[in-house]
Amino acid sequence: MANSSLATQSQVETTTFDELESNVQSYARSFPVVFNTAEGAYLFDENGNRYIDFLAGAGSLNYGHNNAHLRSRLIEYISNCGITHSLDMHTTAKEAFLTTFNDNILAPRGLEYVVQFTGPTGTNAVEAALKLARNIKQRHNIIAFTNGFHGVSIGAMAATGNSHHRGAAGLPLTGVTHMPFCNYFGDELDTIAYLERMLDDPSSGIDHPAAAIVETVQGEGGLNVATPRWLRALERVCRKHDMLLIVDDIQAGCGRTGTFFSFEPSGIKPDIVTLSKSLSGYGIPFAVTIFRPDLDCWKPGEHNGTFRGNNHAFVTATAALERYWGNRDFETEIADKARLIGDALAAIAKDYPDDVIAPRGRGIMQGLTCHSGRLARDIVRRCFRAGLVIETSGSEDEVVKCLPPLVTPNDTLNAALDILGESTRAAIAAYKPD
């Protein structure tokens, strides 16, 4: 397991990174070791130290690191010289993915969508979604929500709330109006009623939007959960005002909240959905934008990108869909683990006032919101020293976010939650509010 000499080691070991990599690196600062191998819920550094991974590629490793089932399929594909890079040409691997995605995901849920293979990053899927919506409706404005995170390319970043990222744009971000998310202003304000008032009023200054884009649980934004009722109200407002509803399911989708799509419990039917992160299932870059067939107004190649035919991802994604989504068992497993995590977080928090520490989130996307970013950062620092990789989120980094692989065994979950509990108590004990 990790030990206290890590800091010293890293000063020696990270010279290459210090000299040759840009200052833009960020997670590397929280975890100043050099990782080497990984399996399931575990990371191993180059000295063989083992860490439990409660970050999981920021939600990209729902099936764990190097999932054996997927790995064997990937190795087999590569060994057989399966085509790796195919632009947007037809391939056997893509066909298998499309068929499996339709059979195991779309059809059972009564969803009829076509699939656009965008460049294999979440931000690219969002760019495609926003373009499509604007072109269909011939309007430039998009509604996004406070604390939403949708990527950092200029089009997607306009919909991202975070000023740290926005400030780097270098030019004003346009085409998006930011509205309050569910419960943003506490009980005082029905935020959908407010949105509706602004849209109903022809002199509000809000240009008629082409669409609204929303995360049902805001991952980077601090595990803020949209209630099913709020989502349904949002869908109603979109219909009333002839706006498309886009769900950005890049972090919350692929089972993270308990169902394949995070919006399933609410019963809404988004017009456009973006998926990425855990879609390939193996941490391999992959992203799609899916939408109602009647919205498919793209002309050939209008939105393109070199790596939109990443067959390794098709292979592992297909394997994951077959392995985990052929029936509803996996959803039951996730629900059980989500309960385990929720109970543990509640137990940690129960000894403290709500404004010091409180549980937050949904599914296996839960955490602890802390009195301050300083407190949260101290907790994760202590966790790492005890062998747990975990990160903060939220506009002030004030939320400790548990994002383990969905397949993490219960004993590993418990071990990690123990570390989190101890670290939290120690951090609170040492904490002096400003």
Ranges within 267-296 binding a second copy (CB under 8 A):
276-277, 282-285, 291, 296
Q: Give the tokens for residue 193.
A: 């009623």
Contact segment (CB under 8 A) with a second copy among 156-164, 256-264, 341-349, 350-358 equals 156-164
User: Least Å distance between CB 431 and a second copy?
Assistant: 21
The reply on whether position 343 binds a second copy by CB under 8 A is: no
Task: Show contacts with a second copy in window 11-50 (CB under 8 A).
Answer: 13-14, 16-17, 19-29, 31-39, 43, 46
DSSP 138: T
**Which of 170, 411, 433, 434 is close enough to bind a second copy by CB under 8 A?**
170
Task: Show contacts with a second copy in window 222-261 (CB under 8 A).
Answer: 250
Cβ atoms of 211 and 219 closer than 8 Å: no
Counting residues that bind a second copy (by CB under 8 A) gives: 153
Residue 431 C-alpha from the chain's centroid: 30
State the helix-helix crossing angle for 410-430 and 373-385, rounded to 10 degrees.
130
Contact segment (CB under 8 A) with a second copy among 126-134, 228-236, 335-343, 420-428 equals 126-134
Cβ atoms of 43 and 35 closer than 8 Å: yes
Outline where DSSP puts E strands in 283-377.
288-291, 357-362, 365-370
The gap between the terminal CA atoms of the chain, to the nearest Å, is: 34
Contact segment (CB under 8 A) with a second copy among 70-78, 335-343, 354-362, 412-420 equals 70-78
CA count, 13 A, side-chain hemisphere, 215: 32
User: Least Å distance between CB 319 and a second copy?
Assistant: 13
Burial (CB < 10 A; 0-12, 13-18, 19+), residue 168, is exposed
Contact segment (CB under 8 A) with a second copy among 54-62, 320-328, 346-354, 417-425 equals 54-62
The reply on whether position 152 binds a second copy by CB under 8 A is: yes
Residue 54's nearest CA partner among 62, 207, 424, 32 is 62
User: Least Å distance between CB 96 and a second copy?
Assistant: 9
Task: Show contacts with a second copy in window 371-390 (CB under 8 A).
Answer: none
Residue 56 or 231: which CB sits closer to a second copy?
Answer: 56
Based on its alpha-carbon atoms, the radius of gyration of the chain, rounded to whole angstroms, reads 21
The reply on whether position 401 binds a second copy by CB under 8 A is: no
The reply on whether position 160 binds a second copy by CB under 8 A is: yes
**Which of 4, 110, 164, 432 is close enough to bind a second copy by CB under 8 A?**
164
User: Least Å distance between CB 244 and a second copy?
Assistant: 12
DSSP 181: P
Residue 390 or 428: which CB sits closer to a second copy?
Answer: 390
Cβ atoms of 60 and 285 closer than 8 Å: no
Residue 368's nearest CA partner among 378, 377, 359, 355 is 359
- Computed from CA positions of residues 132, 137, 140, 144, in that sequence, does the dihedral angle turn out positive or negative? negative
The reply on whether position 414 binds a second copy by CB under 8 A is: no
User: Least Å distance between CB 173 and a second copy?
Assistant: 7
Cβ atoms of 27 and 56 closer than 8 Å: no
**Which of 9, 50, 69, 88 is close enough to bind a second copy by CB under 8 A?**
88
Name the residue with tokens 């373009």: 131
User: Least Å distance between CB 399 and a second copy?
Assistant: 11
The reply on whether position 184 binds a second copy by CB under 8 A is: yes
Give the C-alpha separation, 159 to 247, whole Å. 13
CA count, 13 A, side-chain hemisphere, 256: 38
The reply on whether position 69 binds a second copy by CB under 8 A is: no
Residue 8 or 26: which CB sits closer to a second copy?
Answer: 26
User: Least Å distance between CB 144 and a second copy?
Assistant: 6
